[in-house]
Chain A
Amino acid sequence: MGKIYERLMSDVRLQEGLKACINCGTCTAVCPAAEFYRYNPKNIVNIVQTQDDEEIIKLLKSDTIWYCGECMSCVTRCPRTNAPGQVIIALRTLSVELGYFVESEKGRQQYALAKVLCGNVLNYGYCVHPETFKYENHPEYGTVGKWIEDHLQDVYDRVGANYGKSGPGPLRKIARESLDDLQKIFDVTGGSARVEKIKDLSRKKAQEMGLSEEEYFNEVFNETHGEHLNQQNQ
């Protein structure tokens, strides 16, 4: 049993999410990712189960762990009450903590995610906000989305949202007090440290790749290079 494995096992999500797996495949059978990506939750659990650090590190540095959508469909069906989805969360956490996430294309996307999502939470009090959710990056927002974006205040006013104003209601402006609370919570719970870590390591990786921060963001957000789809062959 290796050190990495031990560290992984200290995660409560892993303790709860991984009792001995019997390889029955009920998780993979319904996994939305397994049908399209080169991904098989059963195999992930199996690798963790080997307790082989070398294999686990390989996993932490790979694209594989980043394919899961955390829908937790696997959790319902496991006859051993395992939760492969939780195992993935623990692996991803460790991959970030150990700085391995920058080694894989999909792992590097954490930069964009951390920047946008944590930025939103700390600036607007919510994970999604019209100020940062742009048609430009979300063409599927559709022609209606584009129309909403073009008439933001009017559309929100029409449907009774409290956009940008104080008091209760959808899209209200979150009071400074609450935002400060969120910032302090981020600071004391390790959220800020996590985000900083992701940003730091990503900056380094960006330098290594000869990209500016913005280029790096665009790169990880938009581009696909490796072969990720599990078409016919594996």
Chain B
Amino acid sequence: MEISNQQRNIVVIGGGPAGIEASRALDAMGYTVFLVERDSRLGGHLCRWDRLFPYGTPAEDVLSQLTASMGRIKWFTSTEVTQVNKLERGYNVILSNGLSVLADALLLTTGFTLFNASKKEEYGYGIYDRVITNADLEDYFSGIPVPAVDNPRRIGFVHCVGSRDEKVGNRYCSKVCCATAVKQACEIKQQFPDAVVYCFYMDLRMFGRGYEDMYLEAQKKYGVIFVRGRVSEVSEDKDGHLFVKAEDTLSGKPLRVTLDLLVLMAGMSHNRAVDPIARTLALSTMEDGFLKPKDSLTAAQASYCTGVFYAGACTGPKTLPETMAEARAAATSIHEYLQEQ
């Protein structure tokens, strides 16, 4: 007997952009979608971001566009997955709100967590008051008071915090930090036009369309100063200003500068919240903790576990457009999978 799409249940875990977009796509195909979000609001990291590179689109706009029509999607916020059991066919997913769903397929869109910048002890996040992260600065841009941002005259951005760093176990590049740093550098220049802004980078990975223009604009229009060198050490002087040591690798000379504000571009770490599910379902993970897709080229949305699919940054750092594309790709993969059943 033919089973209609509507009789098929799909549980999407993680209500960030990947989860929302995939749910919408699956809903449009007629499936019954359960979208589970741990936070009180859908949107994931978008909720904490003010504007998005490269064109400065307000994150809020993207979010409201995403959530404008949720169709028949059954979505639950402030809800966690408490248990997942593999059945002969499909999965039994028990949610913290007491709901138990018999799912034909699971989609993990659990995303990433922002790297805990205090792990890079030499940068003094959490110790020196004027050291903040990219997320803190986004808060400031959204109008949430951040005491560290007190009319700064000299501002530094440190790229690759928690990325490309074996010492913290993250060898990968987080992809979005370079562009975010340049975006934020321009934004802060708009707020404090007289401030001198430095970006300390190792390589500027401005790979996307419009990113290089953003870089050029940062140089030409905003006069942002780019120093090729990883910050080695941050300390505090008597007045609470930050004393920064790096090498200006292009001149081969040690470089010292005192700053009023240092912004750490915390990269992406794998989301530890997904670890229990990964353990229960024996999902493969990579050494850095991100979920390992079946094939990173040809089956990036599939897991090693039948009926479990991935989209977005749960398999590694992604930009927003990549995440969105993966979400739709995952919907198609799930659709194909269910049609074959």
Chain A residues within 8 Å of B, Cβ to Cβ: 22-31, 34-35, 40, 42-43, 76-81, 234
Q: Per DSSP, are chain A's interface residues mostly helix, strand or loop, or mixed?
A: loop
> Do residues A24 and B253 form an inter-chain contact, with CB atoms below 8 A?
no
> Do residues B166 and A29 form an inter-chain contact, with CB atoms below 8 A?
no
> Do residues B167 and A79 form an inter-chain contact, with CB atoms below 8 A?
yes
> Do residues B230 and A26 form an inter-chain contact, with CB atoms below 8 A?
yes
**Subset of 7 A-B contacts with CB under 8 Å:** A24-B230, A24-B249, A25-B228, A28-B249, A29-B245, A34-B254, A80-B166
Q: A27-B247, A30-B254 are in contact. List 18 more A-B contacts (CB 8 A).
A: A23-B202, A23-B249, A24-B229, A25-B247, A25-B249, A26-B229, A26-B230, A26-B231, A26-B247, A27-B232, A28-B247, A29-B230, A34-B253, A77-B122, A79-B160, A79-B165, A81-B166, A234-B253
Mask of B222-253 contacts with A, CB within 8 angstroms, 1/0: 00000011111100000000000111110011
Among B160, B165, B255, max chain A CB count under 10 A is at B165
> Do residues B232 and A30 form an inter-chain contact, with CB atoms below 8 A?
yes
Q: Give the shortest distance, in Å, between B256 (CB) and chain A (any CB).
A: 9
Q: Give the shortest distance, in Å, between B125 (CB) and chain A (any CB).
A: 16
Chain B residues within 8 Å of A, Cβ to Cβ: 122, 160, 164-167, 202, 228-233, 245-249, 252-255
Count contacts between A and B, CB distance < 8 Å: 70
Give the complex CA separation of A77 and B166 in angstroms: 11
A34 contact set on B, CB distance < 8 A: 247, 253-254
B246 contact set on A, CB distance < 8 A: 25-26, 29
B248 contact set on A, CB distance < 8 A: 25
Give the complex CA separation of A25 and B164 in angstroms: 14
B202 contact set on A, CB distance < 8 A: 22-24
> Do residues B245 and A30 form an inter-chain contact, with CB atoms below 8 A?
yes
* Nearest B residue (CB) for A79: B165
A35 contact set on B, CB distance < 8 A: 254
Contact of A25 among B165, B166, B232 (CB under 8 A): B232
Given known pairs A35-B254, A80-B166, A81-B166, the reply for A25 and B230 (CB within 8 Å) is yes
A23 contact set on B, CB distance < 8 A: 202, 249
B160 contact set on A, CB distance < 8 A: 79
B231 contact set on A, CB distance < 8 A: 26, 29
Give the complex CA separation of A29 and B255 in angstroms: 7
